[in-house]
Structure 1
Amino acid sequence: MRFSVLDRAARATGEGFPDVVGHARHVERLGFERFLLAEHHGVPGIPAGQPALLAAHVAAHTQRIRVGTGGIMVLNHAPFIVAEQIRLLETLYPGRIDIGLGSSVGFTAPIREALGSRPKERFEAHLGELLALLDGTPPTPQPADAPTPSLFLLAGFRSALTAARFGLGVILGGPVHTQEAAAKAYRENFAPGVLDAPHVISSLNIAVADTEDEARALLLPEAVAKSLSLSTGEFPSLDPRPDLEMLTAQQRRRVTEIQAHDVFGTPHSVRDRLHDIAQTLGVDEFLVTGDMPDRSGRARSEELLAQL
């Protein structure tokens, strides 16, 4: 069983820019496979909006771990610009780059307008244009001699079919039962393209601690922030000790619903749960998500995961 990490660079309350490099070095020492950076724009609690830039910074300060994006949102950018970013990263750090691509757009209408986000129905056309540019269709993004690194699509069910059609790897998100359906459809419809064979990674919020309550508490601040964002339209900084009594009944219900899909507990219980999920999905790699403002707790959780 292999583990990778998605770091959204989410800020804890009172924190400056998160120590993303320190996080990457920590999981590199533990033997994790990849370290991916996310794209979010205009979000107060997430001050990093440029995953390709941050990936270059992380790769420059690490030695072995694969580094990349999770992901670059295709509809927010001209395909030519994305192709240049991919080729430059691969040229600077050959053999260490993994690029995740996604279809999300800005969280609010003003951000979407500021980005010039394309409509959702343009996603496959934009993705096809990007892949054609990387395959040599003029005009040629530079550096022209850079090989195409591994490409993954961040996917639910529909995007999994898109990944299969273009021959991309897939990083599945959402509840396990929806990941199962998406993984099955992806494998059944995969046609060789960028990759010769299907490659499925499952992304899950995962936390490990000495007790189940301690593990759940590590993921609680993010669940609270997500719940609040659905009410306010703004994802706040992560409060290490959120007061659930300050939430409305609806917000508390949403927190419970969000955490119902998390994987948390003691090393023994998490090992058994991940083993079952791996068997169900047919995967051997998990992308660990879940932003934790308790940095020491996060480090300990990752250490316990590495021991699995």
Structure 2
Amino acid sequence: MRLSLLDRSRTRAGEPDSAALRHTVERARRAEELGYHRFWVAEHHAVPGIASGSPPVLMAAVAAATDRIRVGSGGIMLPNHQPLVVAEQIAMLAALHPGRIDLGIGRSPGFTEPVRRALRVSGTGGFRADLDELRGYLDGTGPVTARPRLDAGVPLFLLATGAGLALAGELGLPVVVGGPVLSDRAALDGYRERAGDAAHLVVSADVLVGDPDLALPEAWALAAARTTGEFPPLEPADPGRTTTRRQREVVSDALARTITGDEDTVAEQLDDLVERTGADELLVSSSTYDRDALARSDAAVARLVTGAEPVARVRRAG
């Protein structure tokens, strides 16, 4: 079972945004030491709680600070960019760090209308057309040749929901899925049938080993976003925090979707997740205010999934 890590460069109350970026690079170094297969970064624009707005720039910093771990985007949001520019950025990274660069592509535009205007979102042919154009630049079949030209291709992953799963299957692309679609076994099986031998299912989940209250800061931030429209920096966990009824509902739902607890509890939940989905790879996407606790959680997850003794507890279904 391959184990990978997605870090969204979450900001924290009372700290400059730059601290979040430095922590992302530090976390990548530790992930490499712990045996994680990939380390991916995110794209969010003008969001107070996330410092990462340019995945290729952050990928360059992470790749330069590490030696072996694969580095990628989870993902670059194609509607926000010209396909040729994305191809050139990724090709440059792959030329500088051969065999270590992944390209995860998503289709979400900017979070708000002002952000979408600021990004000049202007895709003319739709996501599928832009994706085909991007692939053409990367494999050398496009109308122009993206430079630097690569001797070997860059693995391309599609971040998908139900409709995206069907597209990934049709194109024979590895796919990254999370959230409610993980309970839709028919959609997951349909992807495998369409993709055939090219199928590779990466299951993304929030996982925190330790005190369940570690999941509260992220849940509170989500509740704030749903009720105020602004996704804020992480704050320390406070179980007695005063919230509205709607915020409590969002927090409850977020906690229910997070895999958390001691190592035995998390191992059982991960085992169930893999059995239900038939995952080929786990992409852990977790954050909390306490960086030391997060580092301990990353190490514990690595022990559970890749360690010599616990590996049988989290196994590929079938």
TM range (shorter): over 0.9
Residue matched to 1:246: 242
Relative to structure 1, the CA distance from residue 294 to residue 164 in structure 2 (aligned partners, 3 Å threshold; closer, same or farther) is same
Relative to structure 1, the CA distance from residue 35 to residue 140 in structure 2 (aligned partners, 3 Å threshold; closer, same or farther) is same
5 Å-filtered alignment, 1:68-79, equals 68-79=72-83
Separation in 2, partners of 1:70, 1:177:
17
Of 135, 145, 153, the match for 1:148: 153
Separation in 2, partners of 1:45, 1:179:
30
Matched, 1:218 2:223: no
Relative to structure 1, the CA distance from residue 176 to residue 273 in structure 2 (aligned partners, 3 Å threshold; closer, same or farther) is farther
Residue matched to 1:202: 203
Displacement, 1:79?
0.6
Check the 8 A contact 1:2/1:32 in 2, yes or no: yes
Could you state the TM-score of these two structures normalised by the residue count of structure 1?
A: 0.92
Separation in 2, partners of 1:48, 1:11:
9
Relative to structure 1, the CA distance from residue 242 to residue 141 in structure 2 (aligned partners, 3 Å threshold; closer, same or farther) is farther
Could you state the TM-score of these two structures normalised by the residue count of structure 2?
A: 0.89
Separation in 2, partners of 1:174, 1:121:
28
**AA in 1 matched with 2:127:** F
Secondary structure in 1 matching 2:250? helix
Displacement, 1:182?
3.4
Deviating more after overlay: 222-231 vs 141-150? 141-150
Separation in 1, partners of 2:184, 2:12:
29
C-alpha deviations, 1:160-191, integer Å up to 9, x for none? 11111222110111136446343212111116
**AA in 2 matched with 1:237:** P
Matched, 1:261 2:257: yes
Check the 8 A contact 2:200/2:280 in 1, yes or no: no
Check the 8 A contact 1:90/1:146 in 2, yes or no: no
Relative to structure 1, the CA distance from residue 176 to residue 226 in structure 2 (aligned partners, 3 Å threshold; closer, same or farther) is same
Relative to structure 1, the CA distance from residue 65 to residue 178 in structure 2 (aligned partners, 3 Å threshold; closer, same or farther) is same
Displacement, 1:121?
8.0
Relative to structure 1, the CA distance from residue 120 to residue 161 in structure 2 (aligned partners, 3 Å threshold; closer, same or farther) is farther
Separation in 1, partners of 2:180, 2:46:
27
Separation in 1, partners of 2:3, 2:292:
19
The count of residues paired between Structure 1 and Structure 2 equals: 299
Check the 8 A contact 1:103/1:120 in 2, yes or no: no
Residue matched to 2:307: none
Separation in 1, partners of 2:119, 2:13:
27
Secondary structure in 2 matching 1:145? coil
Residue matched to 2:176: 171
Matched, 1:86 2:81: no
**AA in 2 matched with 1:145:** L
Structure 1, gaps ≥5 residues long: none
5 Å-filtered alignment, 1:12-161, equals 12-16=12-16, 17=18, 18=20, 19-118=23-122, 122-136=126-140, 137-161=142-166
Relative to structure 1, the CA distance from residue 244 to residue 33 in structure 2 (aligned partners, 3 Å threshold; closer, same or farther) is same
Check the 8 A contact 2:162/2:181 in 1, yes or no: no
Identity %: 45
Check the 8 A contact 2:177/2:204 in 1, yes or no: yes
C-alpha deviations, 1:203-246, integer Å up to 9, x for none? 0000111xxxx1x2112111110111111211100002246542
Secondary structure in 2 matching 1:168? coil
Residue matched to 1:297: 293
Separation in 2, partners of 1:297, 1:29:
17
**AA in 2 matched with 1:107:** F
Deviating more after overlay: 90-99 vs 13-22? 13-22
Secondary structure in 2 matching 1:39? coil
Secondary structure in 2 matching 1:258? helix
C-alpha deviations, 1:72-102, integer Å up to 9, x for none? 0000000111111111111111001111000
Separation in 1, partners of 2:251, 2:123:
30
Secondary structure in 2 matching 1:97? coil
Deviating more after overlay: 173-182 vs 218-227? 173-182
